[in-house]
């Protein structure tokens, strides 16, 4: 039987402080981009806590000793385009050897249903630890479709990492994919009538890339 995934809010004081900075409507594109990456880096530290280690012999200037190093499994960071791109560099600061796959999705403004428009993944997904990243988990439609796309290509070990989650999205994602771990920097209150997270931070893609 597949393992049961968990949902965890990573509410370290530094993460909460930085999230407040980007929630502010007066935070400009440059600062928004910078701080999203900083939060992603802090989250990666927690998300990678259960990465497997193996024994490794190393010779210090004093003696030979058996210590630990990360075991073979390679991490793949998978941003959901566009907004997920804003989290990639921050995670690469901590895990520089990670590979990066891409999943392109956009959400229809009226129906709120996602459409997949691009998928490019490294090979051997089944043997890799995959971090899907997207700042926003709103209805959950995009996240569910992204996990579907990865599982279809053989992925087994999947974590979903977002900054702001709505309760509706967390429930939908966990109902659809109970085996994956879901991490958020904040569990917000609800979705408004346009499918935006309240209080949220607005449209993450537009704020990251200066579009609208
Ligand atoms: O949980 P959901 O209801 O699916 O909504 C969340 C999705 O919406 C946003 O993307 P958007 O469609 O705005 O695309 P963009 O990143 O290109 O702006 C966001 O980055 C998520 O991918
Ligand atoms: O609040 C929201 C919901 C979906 N996508 C966003 O960028 N923001
Ligand atoms: Mg958007």
Segment 18-34, tens digit of pLDDT: 999 999 999 999 999 99
80, part of any domain: yes
Spatial distance between the Cα atoms of 201 and 196, rounded to a whole number of angstroms: 9
CB atoms within 5 A of ion ligand 3 belong to 203, 205
Tell me, yes or no, whether 199 lies in a domain.
yes
Answer yes or no: is the C-beta of 149 below 6 A from any ligand 2 atom. no
Does a structural domain hold residue 88?
Answer: yes
- The reported pLDDT for the residue numbered 72 is 73
What ligand 1 atom has the least distance to the C-alpha of 204? 20
Q: Please tell me the number of the ligand nearest to residue 86's CA.
A: 1
pLDDT tens across 54-97, in order? 999 999 999 999 999 998 778 999 999 999 999 999 999 999 99
Ligand 2 pocket residue status of 203, Cβ below 6 Å: yes
Question: How many domains are contained in the chain?
Answer: 1
Distance CA 130, CA 101 (A): 9
Gap between the Cα atoms of 197 and 199, Å rounded = 6
Contact 212, 192 (CB under 8 A): no
What whole-number distance in Å separates Cα of residue 142 and Cα of residue 146?
6
Ligand with an atom nearest the CA of residue 112: 1
Domain at 84, CATH number: 3.40.50.2020
Give the Cα separation of 124 and 136 in Å (integer). Answer: 27
What is the C-alpha to C-alpha distance for residues 132 and 87, in angstroms, rounded to an integer?
10
The distance of Cα 58 from the centroid of its chain, to the nearest Å, equals 33
Within-domain flag for 69: no
The model's pLDDT over 125-182, given as tens digits with 9 standing for 90+, comes to 999 999 999 999 999 999 999 999 999 999 999 999 999 999 999 999 999 999 999 9
Cβ-count burial 84-123 (b if 16+ within 10 Å, e if not): bbbbbebbbebbeebbbbbbbbebeeeeeebeeeebebee
**In this structure, is residue 86 part of a structural domain?**
yes
Give a yes or no: residue 109 inside a domain: yes
pLDDT of residue 4 exceeding 90: yes
Residue 179 included in any domain: yes
Structural domain that includes position 134: 7-49+75-209
The pLDDT tens digits for 179-212 are 999 999 999 999 999 999 999 999 999 999 999 8
* Atom 8 in ligand 1: residue holding the nearest Cα: 107
Q: Which helix (H) or strand (E) holds 130?
A: strand 129-133
In the chain, count H helices and then E strands.
6, 13
The closest-lying atom of ligand 1 relative to the alpha carbon of residue 203 is 13
Q: How many residues does the chain have?
A: 212
In a domain, 55, yes or no: no
Q: Measuring CA to CA, which residue among 172, 123, 111 is closest to residue 147?
A: 172
């Amino acid at each position: 039987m597949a393992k049961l995934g968990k949902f965890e809010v990573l509410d370290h004081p530094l993460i909460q402080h930085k999230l407040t900075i980007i929630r502010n409507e007066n935070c400009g594109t440059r600062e928004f981009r910078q701080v999203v990456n900083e939060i992603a880096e802090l989250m990666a530290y927690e998300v990678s806590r259960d990465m497997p280690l193996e024994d490794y012999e190393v010779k210090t200037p004093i003696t030979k000793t058996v210590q630990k190093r990360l075991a073979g499994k390679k991490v793949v960071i998978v941003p959901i385009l566009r907004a997920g791109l804003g989290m990639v560099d921050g995670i690469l600061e901590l895990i520089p050897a990670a590979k990066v796959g891409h999943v392109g999705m956009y959400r229809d403004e009226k129906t709120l249903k996602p459409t997949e428009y691009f998928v490019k993944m490294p090979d051997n997904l089944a043997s890799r630890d995959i971090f899907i990243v997207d700042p926003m988990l709103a209805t959950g439609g995009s996240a569910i479709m992204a996990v579907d796309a990865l599982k279809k290509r053989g992925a087994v070990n999947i974590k979903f990492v977002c900054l702001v989650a709505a309760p509706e999205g967390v429930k939908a994602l966990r109902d659809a994919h109970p085996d994956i771990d879901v991490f958020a920097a904040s569990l917000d209150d609800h979705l408004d009538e346009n499918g935006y997270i309240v209080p949220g931070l607005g449209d993450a893609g537009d704020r990251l890339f200066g579009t609208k």
